[in-house]
Structure 1
């Protein structure tokens, strides 16, 4: 997660300084948590992972290094990443991800100067940016991509029945998008509508998890049946988007 912090006295700044202490989230340092997290990534990203494992990949706001660890173990060799939290960077280094740096995602255009990437992952970061900065952030990512390079986004789905909980369950969340407004944001950022794909984030790795996903689909259809043609089609808590630079 990344956000420009001008003072550690504000709420967001204090949370980022003590993020791991406050969130108490399991990390891939824990073997059981790692197994579950990697299975989740395998399901949600399996069709979007590049075949060529030598491509240059950047993980924006890499957190505790879960995705980078997953990619490293899948054989991807040309990885980069950064995060605003010193605690998260320290955890990444403990995991052997010594290339991870402390950096602000809102200044992405200054990261490693003119270096460009084949794939940029921006998972669980968009919702932490002020809405006024979101378009600039997407434009900066596009400029960091090589021609035909790919951006992969994951962000909470405000069209989900869990949208209110997702939006306000984290004090650092600033705004949210639906499948429609996410597409609009990507178009504003310079991506071509014909090269954008938005899909549900199915990530369950157990039989019980799959059952919950089926239940969620049914419940979503029942709740939004009165909305008609304008109803949200994607029921999952998170949206995933893939966009290619023309």
Structure 2
């Protein structure tokens, strides 16, 4: 992936070279430079809150001084939710200048423009939690393994990786996987476990990402989905001879952790680091030392359903 400097970002004008066939600008750069205006649009903070409450908050450490990094954070919706929940050391990074500009306009200042390698460079057993929502599918196969290796190194022993990615087992896998020209790789629960094991992760849990329930209509949709999912799982069970453990939602949630050395407790059993603690921080953490105090809802690129 191309490295980008930590710069002040502005919305990309329509006459920017990324909007034309400039031979000096790669296709991926053109797509990411105008990612918000040509693809993701502006989502709902309420939808981001639903995802945070269900998929992220239960896996966060009790210590709110924990270092949490959201890579591929988009417009900073999850970073905003983290700060509102009291995690003052939450930061985000995204490769799209339009996405970062949208985050800054919404008051989410703990978001930096850059790529994964730059953000994780120099981090060694530093992070408590790394969030990668809708990120891994943007990487090719070699980059996936390299990135997971960097993440594993950046996390402390017992640190947590939370990822969401399209599920290749779903009968509608192509809806998300091929709905974005920047997507490169599609995983199944089995292949994502393989990638995580190869890069040193343990305690790997792959979960369905079902429709959110936030009202009568969404509950009816959820009930219908539950009925249909039983049929999909039954079909898989008949073919494979294994009737249990199938994940058939379009997206899947992946939770994994880094190994804890023998006789060393997990980070959530260590003394509280209130006040930030004495642990050294990488240059990235120092460069994104703003605190998001925004009280207004932050627009995001999250879909209405997981």
Q: TM-score, normalised by structure 2?
A: 0.70
1:102 aligns with 2:110: no
Matched residue, 1:117: 127
2:252 to 235, 239, 242: 239
Q: Is the 8 A contact 1:108 1:140 kept in 2?
A: no
Deviations 1:65-109 (A, max 9, x none): 111111122221111111001111111112222121111114444
2:95 matched residue in structure 1? 84
Q: Secondary structure at the match of 1:15?
A: helix
User: 1:233–1:80: structure 2 CA closer, same or farther, 3 Å change rule?
Assistant: same
CA radius of gyration, larger in: 2
CA distance in 2, matches of 1:11, 1:154: 25
Determine helix, strand or coil for the equivalent of 1:47: helix
Give the structure 2 partner of residue 199 of structure 1: 207
- Alpha-carbon contact 2:93-2:112 (below 8 Å) kept: yes
Aligned to 2:177, which of 140, 157, 167? Answer: 167
1:4 and 2:2 aligned:
yes
With 5-14 and 128-137 compared, the bigger mean Cα shift is at 5-14
Higher relative CO (CA 8 A, sep ≥ 6), structure 1 or 2? 2
Q: Counterparts of 2:145 and 2:107 in 1: how far apart (Å)?
A: 33
* Contact 1:5-1:13 at 8 Å conserved across structures: no
Name the residue aligned to 1:217: 229
Query: Deviations for 1:2-41, whole angstroms, at most 9, x for unmatched residues?
Result: x5389763332211111000114333xxxxx212331233
Which residue of the partner structure matches residue 197 of structure 2?
187
Distance 2:61 2:93 in 1: 20
Is 1:228 matched up with 2:245?
no
1:176 aligns with 2:200: no
The alignment's TM-score, normalised by the length of structure 1, stands at: 0.86
Instruction: Identify the range of structure 1 (93-102 vs 126-135) with the bigger mean alpha-carbon deviation.
Output: 93-102
Q: Structure 2 vs 1, CA of residues 91 and 236 (structure 1 numbering), >3 Å: closer, same or farther?
A: same
1: distance between equivalents of 2:252 and 2:24? 31
Distance 1:179 1:141 in 2: 19
Q: Mapping of 1:45-56 within 5 angstroms?
A: 45-56=56-67
- Please state if 1:69 is matched with 2:77: no
Residue 213 (structure 1) shift: 3.0
How many residues align? The count is 236
Superposed CA RMSD in Å reads 2.3
The alpha-carbon distance between structure 1 residues 62 and 24, as it changes in their structure 2 partners (threshold 3 A), is closer
- Given candidates 36, 42, 50, the residue that maps to 1:20 is 36
Q: How far 1:124 sits from its partner (Å)? A: 0.6
Superposed displacement of residue 156, structure 1: 0.5
User: Is the CA contact (8 Å cut-off) linking 2:94 and 2:112 kept in structure 1?
Assistant: yes
Change (3 A) 1:219 1:4: farther
1:142 has 2:146 as partner:
no
Q: Please state how far the C-alpha of 1:42 moved relative to its aligned partner.
A: 1.4
State the distance in 2 between where 1:39 and 1:243 align: 21
